[in-house]
Amino acid sequence: MEEEQKEEIVDEEENNGPSGVLDPGKTPSENFDLTTWNLSIPENKGNGTATTISVSQINASYENSKYFFTADDGGMVFKCPVDGFKTSVNTSYTRVELREMLRGTNTSIKTQGVNKNNWVFGTAPTSDKNAAAGYDGEMSATLAINHVTTTGNNSHIGRVVIGQIHANNDEPVRLYYRKLKNNTLGSIYFAHEPTDGNGDEQWHEMIGSRSNSAANPSDGIALDEKFSYNIKVVGDILTVTIIREGKEDVVKTVNMANSGFNVAGQYMYFKAGLYHLNNSGDDTDYAQVTFYALEKSHTLN
């Protein structure tokens, strides 16, 4: 039988200006296609939790000079302080971070759940694949880390998350950059967190070490150095790739067949930007990252 053709949902957020070049005179949504993203910033929305900038708001030329703005070179800047309001009472850290919203501006679709706002693994039950906006996913970004914290607890200093796949309650992947204050170069590693009852959190070092006392990584990434990452899920296989000009790609693969994400009711969404995993540094300390490209895609039944 001829293989069934699949339709791919593609959102391209790379160099989205009319000339194909990032324009420092434009807002982030004018340079990047943010039509399926919202944004969290660490300001009080009135109930003691962080503010969400909706898809409609972020695409109405939204900028915020404290947290989210266009750099002098046209990049999309995420800047996050140590202290600030969190997205929920269950979250310990601040963030200036995009959350994938496949529903776009159709707010009749709920944010959470196996529905047209989220995606599932290709190994999910057929009913969930049909109910979701798509299945499997790939996200690529080009970015530079501009600043990380130099104060706080030894386990907190210099660490940020720059990309995630988030599920109902767990994260199939959290991608970290970390530079210790006495090092000139930073490390890259990621966590894979199975669902409850399906094993412990796994750590995968890609460049350098995640240790609190790591030596300067010989092949590490400096502040303001551009690099790219790719996060891809096909079925139960997670692949994370770090790409740098003039160097071999660094690739790690995780088989998630026993991690509990391929069952009914588990839904996924990408996150990108800055999840700031330091809540113990000085109030004036902060992290900052600039994105130069952001792309994602899924497959539709």
Q: Cα separation of 78 and 143, whole Å?
A: 11
Domain count, the chain: 1
Q: How many other CB atoms are there within 10 angstroms of residue 25's CB atom?
A: 9
Give me the mean pLDDT over the 209-216 stretch.
97
Q: Indicate the helix (H) or strand (E) that contains 58.
A: helix 55-58
Does residue 18 surpass a pLDDT of 90? no
Q: From CA 148, how far away is CA 260, in angstroms rounded?
A: 33
Task: Residue 295: give the domain boundaries.
Answer: 7-300
Cα 130 to Cα 150: distance, rounded to the nearest angstrom: 47
**Residue 300 pLDDT exceeds 90:** no
Q: Give mean pLDDT, residues 257-274.
A: 98
Residue 147's Cβ-count burial label (10 Å; 0-12, 13-18, 19+) is: middle
76, 64 contact by CB (below 8 A): no
Inside any domain, residue 96: yes
3-state secondary structure 198-235: CCCCEEEEEECCCCCCCCCCCCCECCCCEEEEEEEEEC
238 in a domain, yes or no? yes
Is 252 a member of any domain?
A: yes
CB atoms within 10 A of CB 239: 15
Percent of the chain with pLDDT over 70: 93
Give mean pLDDT, residues 20-25.
91
Cα within 13 Å of Cα(147), Cβ side: 14
Cβ-based neighbour number of residue 241 at 10 Å? 16
In a domain, 1, yes or no: no
Is residue 50, in this structure, part of any structural domain at all? yes
- On average, the pLDDT of the chain sits at 94
Split at pLDDT 50, 70, 90, the class of 9 is low
At 19, list the tokens.
């000339």
**Residue 141 domain flag:** yes
Residue 299 has pLDDT above 70, yes or no: yes
Residue with tokens 């790690």: 252
Decide if pLDDT at 17 tops 60. no
Q: Would the pLDDT of 54 be above 50? A: yes
23 within some domain: yes
Over range 57-71, report the average pLDDT. Answer: 98
pTM metric for this prediction: 0.94
Mean pLDDT for the stretch of residues 287-295:
98
pLDDT in tens, 152-180: 999 999 999 999 999 999 999 999 999 99
Q: In the predicted model, is pLDDT for residue 204 greater than 80?
A: yes
Which CATH number characterizes residue 95's domain? 2.60.120.200
pLDDT confidence bin for 87, thresholds 50/70/90? confident
Contact by Cβ (8 Å): 121, 235? yes
Residue 10 reports pLDDT greater than 60: no
- When pLDDT is averaged across residues 140-147 and rounded to a whole number, the result is 99
pLDDT exceeds 50 at position 58:
yes
- Residue 158: which residues within 8 A CB-CB, separation 6 or more? 148, 149, 150, 178, 179, 180, 181, 186, 278
Residue 2 covered by a domain: no
